[in-house]
Structure 1
Amino acid sequence: MSRRGDRLQKKGARGTRRAAAQRSETPAARSKAGSAGGKPPSRLRLWLKRGALWGGGLALLGVVMLGIAVAMAARSIPGYSALKANQPGQTIIVRARDGREIVELGPSFGEWLDHDEIPSTMTNAMIAVEDKRFHSHFGIDPVRLTGALVEGVTGSRARLGGTSTITQQLARNLFLNSNRTFDRKAREAVLALALEWKFSKEEILELYLNKVYFGGGAYGIDSASRKFFSHPATELSVGEAAIIAGLVKAPSRYSPTADVQAAVDRAQVVLRLMREQGYISSDQAMVDVTAVQLKQAAGQNSVRYFTDWVLPQLDIILPETFEPIEVWTTLDIGMQRAATTAIEANTPRGAQGALVSLDRDGAILALVGGTDYVATNFNRATAAMRQPGSSWKLFVYLAALEAGYTPEDMVVDTPVTIDGWSPRNSNGRNVGETDVRTAFAFSINTVAAQLGNEVGFGTVASMARRFGITSEIATFPSMVLGSSEVRLIEMTRAFAAISAKGVGIEPYGIAKVTTADGELLYQHEERRDRALVPDYVVAGMTDLLQAAVQTGTGRAAQIGRPVAGKTGTTSSNKDGWFVGFSSGVTTGVWMGRDDARAVPGLQGGRAPAQAFAAFMRYAVKDRPIEEFDITVELPEWQLEPDQEAMFGEPDDYYFIDEQGNLVEPGRREQIPSPFGIEGERARDAPAAASEDFLEQATGGALPQDRREPRRPQAPPPAAVLPPQPND
């Protein structure tokens, strides 16, 4: 047999013996053999085992890395004394023009209270509402953290508290911002663990209660206690402690000076938690929080409108600084009170009022942005955009005066239509021929429309820009009646330029800024502005403005001394204005509703003019009476020195020749004279000597054909002014 056959025979014998052996094994023996390694384990169990090993390794590595991060953070955290001395924010003291303090802004810090000086009621209230496991966790509360993770997965909002512990809040207040990002939360957690590693629970709680923010600029429980209850934190009652502890979650929402009921409701929650956690009894939890005596908020008045407008300017005029500073402003305390009273007393029910008063150099003497700052801090004096009504006619008549009109010039009040727009007078009548002064004093709309159309609506807009109006200005015909929205401070600035003899001014509220030690950081410099219009235009405009108060629509603004000003009323009585000046003080008043709805009976000549008068009587009482200069001295180009001047320069006018043909300016034909001198037509040139003289000199009569017939002297040509183009 071949070798190949031998190998096949042996292989078959081995297979026969293996099969016989398998048939002889019992099921138990086969099972035992498989468990001993004959059959490999399942793939799933293998991966689970590997995952557990890797997960454990990574977790161990994470713990090690976290420990290293916490250790490094603990080393970088300043010592307890340094943290205690560090105070957040910048304190700003705002002073009036006489140096008196009107408001202190920024952080306010009370007395530092050691842990054993802090009332246990205050400590317990804060722990109950912010971190009930404060004494048992190590900086991070695992229960809260787990709840937050479940909440993130399920979207539930069952938990009543946040995820941050007191230690985490302290870490955020000391070292971080309030951005709700994963990176910030991770760093907050590391810093919280470091704080717990480095300081005791008592030290952490002491730092927290002396540094946490309670709203209104108050940092720490002592500052909050003095702000809200007028006594130190060592005297806090259970109800007062509950109010303060409830502020941490949302200082502005639960502030007792802003919403007493919200503060009371939040305090009730704190008392319930204190009772549930065993800090107080049921009787103590029933304390009447409404009976707590709150400090009256004396500083929340109209002066905050002024500080809200002026303080952001510090970012522009000062280099970056975090040291305490004192801002010396232009505000007059007495005038501010008078302005507040005038607005509150004269503003119609349901409406708002605003007032701006400027000195002759642009310094703001008083600024009121509304009837109640606590109710609404929107500044209607500097931010609200409203239609100025007829007070806008200031720019129309300025343009007309600059174009050559005078207060005595005659105009015609008659119905007019311009590009499809037909303005009507408020009384629905037309008086016919009148002078410019009367038309302005009684705010005749048709005359203003004709003047605006004659000088050009673009010219009127340019005049408004020249006087400091920065808001958007339309050039439609109706713009002459104040259809473009402007700010009150802009209109007041424009009128103040007339008071300043036509020199432009810039409103300002900061006179100087110093450090707490008196070092000068900023000093206001007086601007050297140029004259915006000629003197004769200023005199004429002052004449018109004075007439509006003496005999026109602004009679309610009279104060017993010369006053110049203009009223303004928009359609359907939505806005009422009066802007005027006297003795170097310019004041603008606006009244209306924030939703631009009509206010019954609101007219610029009534409530706004009355508020103006009430304020100005106080504002100018210590100033000398100043008469207005209304003498209009026209420039030479407008004067007529002799009868021939009425013809002006020949090239400036249209002429009609002897045949009645129209000759355009600069196109009159001239021919050389016999004597080489440019003059009239040769046939009209007079002879060098008379005929009688020639006859006597020659001794005889001249030939009849040499004589020129005498013609009657022609009248002078009629001058016709060129038509003015429309804008």
Structure 2
Amino acid sequence: MSGNGKKRSPLVAERRYPANATAKKKPAPKKKPKPAPRRKAAPKKRAKPTGLLGWIFLPIRWTIRIMWAFAWRVSLVTGLIIAGFSLYFASQMPPVDELLDGRARGSVTMTDLRGDIFAWRGDQFGGKITTETVSPHLRNAVIASEDKRFYRHFGISPRGIASAVRINLRAGRGPLSGNGGSTLTQQTAKLLCLGVPFDPSQWEDEAAYENDCRQGSLWRKAREAVYAVGMEIAYTKDEILTIYLNRAYLGAGARGFEAAAQRYFSSSAAELNPQQAAMMSGLLPAPSRYAPTRNLQRAQDRAATVLRLMEEQGYLTAAEAAEAQANPATLSATARANTATFFADWVMRSTPAFLTSETTEDVMIRTTLDKDIQAAAEEAMLSVFENQVREGSEAQAAIVVMSADGAVRAMVGGRNLGETGAFNRATQAQRQTGSSFKPFIYATALDLGMSPYAMIDDAPICWSRRGSADWCPSNYDREFVGPVSLIDALKASRNIPAIVLSEDVGRELVRNVATGFGIDSDLAAGPALALGVSESNLLEMTGAYAGILNGGSAVVPYGLTDLRFQGDTESLVDTTGTGIGERIIQERAARELTWMMTKVVEEGTGRRARIDGWQIAGKSGTTNSSRDAWFIGFTGDYVTGVWMGYDDNSPLTGVTGGGLPATIWHETMVRVLEGKTPTPLPMSIPEQPATAGVLQSDGGVIADGEILNLLSTILSDAAAQN
């Protein structure tokens, strides 16, 4: 180790920087360069079509672009227009309560003599209901069958419309024909006629107005959709459904579900079970077709479909649906009977139209109908035609039952029971009366003082007729029996004695008596008057016989005892409670005639009408060629008339008044009188005179004694007046 003793600076590495270099400074931050100005992107050049296919599809692409541009603009404008009109309609909507009863005419409810309802006419409205007051089953049934998305759409359902169009096209119909895809809101809009009220001065009737409301044109559908959206803006869903439940037509004149529930089930809409609710909801597509009063099985089948929909949509459990399917809804006893349609129609026609068919109010009518007697008459007719008339026969019959004062208790106008508005053969058929007219001839004679024991010569006789051959009538059996008493002549319904008697007492007097008793038809002017060649109807004839029963006073048949507006206590008609009018013949004469007519039933042509234990008076009648057959008879309480014949006036085969008509009379009255105590007839048995004489066709009388001499004088005077 060497050293010089001098201190040396330590060895260091060679310095990288000069000795005089200053301390290292931090570099200043670099400034960010300014971004270069962004150049505008050059517009994309539309791809030029390449190849043959590109050139082929170029027009299609252009067409689609143009259509889309046009479509969304049109849609926007259309949407704004719809929104504008919808808002306008919404602003015009009245309060819900004003829309619930929209009937242009009122209803007529008829009750029988006990106050029980038996018939409805007009537009029935049972009262206002809401979605909260009706049975939940009813609300669910309507939603399930008519519009399952009701609470989710805004008034129209594009999905529903598309589905309806598809169904229509598959069925071979036009896209708007048949299924319409309407929502419940749209259906309600249609029920409201899009807010257009009924104007009697503009429309011929309400039916024409409603037909216009149901138009299915494209323009009408568009207006309906706009109005429906307006309803959705103005009302809640429950309010719209409430309007629908009150205004929907459900057949049989029922407007609204409350009226329909009362009509079909005699129940309130709040008490309907699932099967009843399903049946009523099932009526909505076609009320007349599905009405249970028209075809119960068809209504039940439709209800089964609604029940399946209710189960599928969760409104019924499987167990509830199965129970409802196993126990389908049936009509109430009142609706099932559908009784006395002919009687109800007659009351409607015989009462002023402004209180019945043209009423704008709800009217209550109390009638004289006895439902038990009505049922007896209907059962009797059906029984006789089923068991004693050949199958396929088109013969018809009519029955009227009334009290002695003219109160009609039952009326059957034909075999088509239950058909509303049908031709009523009891009141509308004018038919020749035949021998049923003869009691009025005998009533005239008895009123003049002739004895029932007086004799008439049943012998051939002729009347001359100007311009034609002589008229030479005969009896039904083509025989002549010589002198016969009035009693026996009436009992056997002999023609010659009736004609001779009519001629001798005077045809004019006979016509006056018949007219007085209520036969309003024009009566024949010649001697054939006595044979019943004049026409009348069954109601008139039965009322005329009631005049005999009540002692000789005229009777006006009536069926109405009280009429008032629903809810009022004051009657609108002045009813006396009786149809008895002025006296036509003396009471003595009426009582003697009644006794003579009992012989017809006991011993003569009316024997089939006999009922053990009861006094019955009556008279049969058969016209020329058996075109009409009658039997009219009475007990102490009721007068019953029966007519039988063909509507086209064809002859009956083997039928006389004492045959099937008397049988129908018997079957009716057996049912009416069952369980009742026999009532004696008001009749008098005259004393038989000590001497007798014979009234001859020339008006002469071969008599022994003062009684017959007096009778001859009376008859001669009457003939001279004629």
TM-score (norm 2): 0.65
Q: Among 431, 434, 445, which residue is 1:389 paired with?
A: 434
Q: CA deviation at 1:613?
A: 3.7
Change (3 A) 1:245 1:332: closer
Residues 408-464 of structure 1: per-residue CA shift (max 9 Å, x gap): 222122233333433332222211121222111100122223334445555544433
Q: Give the equivalent residue in structure 1 for 2:203.
A: none
**Cα pair distance change 1:344/1:537, threshold 3 Å:** same
1:365 aligns with 2:409: yes
Which residue pairs with 1:628 in the alignment?
683
Question: How is 1:52-67 mapped onto 2 (pairs within 5 angstroms)?
Answer: none
Hey, what does 2:476 align to over in structure 1?
426
Q: Which structure would you say has the larger RCO, counting Cα contacts within 8 Å and 6 or more residues apart? A: 2
1:548 to 589, 600, 603: 600
Letter in 2 for 1:329: T
Say which of 465, 469, 485 aligns to 2:535.
Answer: 485
Q: 2-side partners of 1:87 and 1:321: how far apart?
A: 11
Structure 1 pair 435–190 and aligned structure 2 pair: CA distance change class (3 A): farther
Aligned position for 2:21: none
The residue type equivalent to 1:439 in the other structure is: A
Aligned residue pair count = 589
| Residue among 82, 85, 93 paired with 1:77 | 93
Aligned residue number for residue 213 of structure 1: 249
Tell me the amino acid that sits aligned with residue 283 of structure 2.
Answer: L
After superposition, where does 1:306-705 map in structure 2 within 5 Å? Answer: 306-315=343-352, 325-347=363-385, 348-349=388-389, 350=393, 351-374=395-418, 377-401=422-446, 405-418=450-463, 419=465, 420=469, 421-455=471-505, 457=507, 459-475=509-525, 477-514=527-564, 515-516=566-567, 518-525=569-576, 526=578, 529-535=581-587, 537-559=589-611, 560-616=613-669, 618-619=672-673, 621-622=676-677, 624-631=679-686
1:298 paired with 2:350, answer no
Q: Deviations along 1:488-539, whole A, 9 cap, x unmatched? A: 1100111111112211121112222354464444451256732113445434
Q: Distance in 2 between matches of 1:116 and 1:231?
A: 11
- Helix, strand or coil for the counterpart of 1:605? coil
Higher deviation after alignment, 191-200 or 239-248: 239-248
Ranges in structure 1 where 5+ consecutive residues have no aligned partner: 1-59, 148-154, 635-639, 654-719
CA distance in 1, matches of 2:426, 2:497: 30
- Give me the whole-angstrom Cα distance separating, in 2, the residues matched to 1:581 and 1:543: 12
Q: Which amino acid aligns with 1:444?
A: R
What amino acid is aligned across from residue 293 of structure 1 in structure 2? P
SS of the counterpart of 2:489?
helix
Q: Per the alignment, do residues 451 and 315 of structure 1 end up closer, same or farther by CA in structure 2, a change over 3 Å counting?
A: same
Measured against aligned partners, the alpha-carbon deviations of 1:578-632 in whole angstroms (never above 9, x if no partner) come to 1122324322122334444444443322333234344445449346424403549
Give the AA of the match of 1:587: T
Contact 2:125–2:259, Cα closer than 8 Å, also in 1: no
AA aligned to 1:524 is: T
Task: Tell me the CA shift for residue 251 of structure 1.
Answer: 1.8
Structure 2 letter corresponding to 1:366:
A
- Structure 2 unaligned runs (5+)? 1-76, 166-172, 199-205, 690-702
Cα distance in 1, alignment partners of residues 533 and 154 from structure 2? 68
Q: Is the 8 A contact 2:506 2:718 kept in 1?
A: no
**Whole-angstrom distance in 1 between the partners of 2:517 and 2:710:** 35
**1:111/1:425 CA distance change after superposition, 3 Å:** same
Q: State the secondary structure of the residue aligned to 1:529.
A: strand
Letter in 2 for 1:541: L
- Equivalent residue number for residue 231 of structure 2: 195
Aligned partners of 1:357 and 1:366 also within 8 Å: yes
Aligned mate of 1:122, from 141, 145, 150: 141
Deviation at 1:80, TM superposition (A): 2.5
**Distance in 2 separating the partners of 1:490 and 1:632:** 32
Distance in 2 of aligned mates of 1:643 and 1:225: 75
Change (3 A) 1:67 1:581: same
Q: Which amino acid is the alignment partner of residue 534 of structure 2?
A: S
Aligned to 1:159: 177
Aligned to 2:113: 97
Structure 1 residues 576, 133: closer, same or farther in 2, change over 3 A?
farther
Q: CA deviation at 1:552?
A: 1.6
- The answer to whether the 8 A contact 1:168-1:189 is kept is yes
Letter in 2 for 1:304: T
1:711 maps to: none
Counterparts of 2:541 and 2:112, CA distance in 1: 24
What amino acid is the match of 1:255?
A
* Pairing partner for 2:293 from 247, 252, 257: 257
3-state secondary structure, aligned to 2:293: coil
Q: Does the aligned pair in 1 maintain the 2:453–2:688 contact within 8 Å? A: no
Q: How far apart are 1:726 and its partner, in Å? A: 11
Contact 2:518 2:543 in 1 (8 A): yes
Q: Kindly provide the amino acid, as one letter, of the partner of residue 562 in structure 2.
A: K
Distance 1:192 1:257 in 2: 33
Query: Which one-letter code corresponds to 1:486 in the other structure?
Result: S
Q: Is the 8 A contact 2:161 2:181 kept in 1?
A: no
Give the conservation status (yes or no) of the 8 Å contact 1:140–1:168: no
Shift in Å, 1:340: 3.2
Are the equivalent residues in 1 in contact too, given 2:282–2:302 (CA < 8 A)? yes
Partner of 2:692: none
Cα distance per residue 1:93-131 (max 9 Å; x no partner): 5333234444566334696434994678634554469x9
> Structure 1, residues 548-567: CA drift from partner, whole Å, max 9, x if none?
22322122333334322111
Shift of 1:326: 4.0
Describe the superposition over 1:253-277 as per-residue Cα deviations: whole angstroms up to 9, x where unpaired.
33233135665787899999999x9
Q: What is the CA–CA distance in structure 1 between the aligned matches of 2:108 and 2:300, rounded to whole Å?
A: 31
Distance 1:235 1:548, change over 3 A: closer
Separation (CA, whole Å) in 2 of partners of 1:422 and 1:227? 59
RMSD: 5.5
TM-score (structure 1 length as normaliser): 0.64
Taking every aligned residue pair, what percent have the same amino acid on both sides?
32
Q: Distance in 2 between matches of 1:143 and 1:438?
A: 81
Distance 1:370 1:644 in 2: 49
CA distance in 1, matches of 2:183, 2:687: 77
- Aligned residue type for 1:361: D
Q: Distance in 2 between matches of 1:461 and 1:204?
A: 66
CA contact (8 A) 2:433 2:622 kept: yes
Which deviates further from its counterpart, 381-390 or 66-75? 66-75
- In 2, Cα distance between equivalents of 1:643 and 1:471: 39
